[in-house]
Amino acid sequence: MDIGNKLRLLRIQRGLTQEELADRCELSKGFISQAERNLASPSIATLTDMLECLGSSLQDFFNESPAEKTVFSPQDMFVKEDAEELKGTITWLVPDAQKNRMEPILIEMEEGGISLTMPPHEGEEFGYVLSGSIYLEQGSARQRVRAGCSFCIHPKEEHCLRNAGKSRARVLWVSTPPSF
In percent, the amount of the chain with pLDDT more than 90 equals 79
Angle in degrees, 0-180, between the axes of helices 18-25 and 44-53, rounded to the nearest 10: 120
pLDDT at residue 98, as a whole number: 76
Q: Calculate the average pLDDT of the chain.
A: 92
Q: How many CB atoms lie within 10 A of CB 180?
A: 18
pLDDT at residue 65, as a whole number: 73
pLDDT at residue 153, as a whole number: 95
Q: How many CB atoms lie within 10 A of CB 112?
A: 11
Q: What is the mean pLDDT of residues 147-152?
A: 98
Q: Which CATH code fits 3-62?
A: 1.10.260.40
Class of domain 74-176: mainly beta
pTM, two decimal places: 0.65
What are the E-state strand segments in the chain? 78-82, 88-92, 103-109, 124-131, 133-138, 141-146, 150-153, 159-163, 169-176
What are the residue ranges spanned by the domains of the chain? 3-62, 74-176
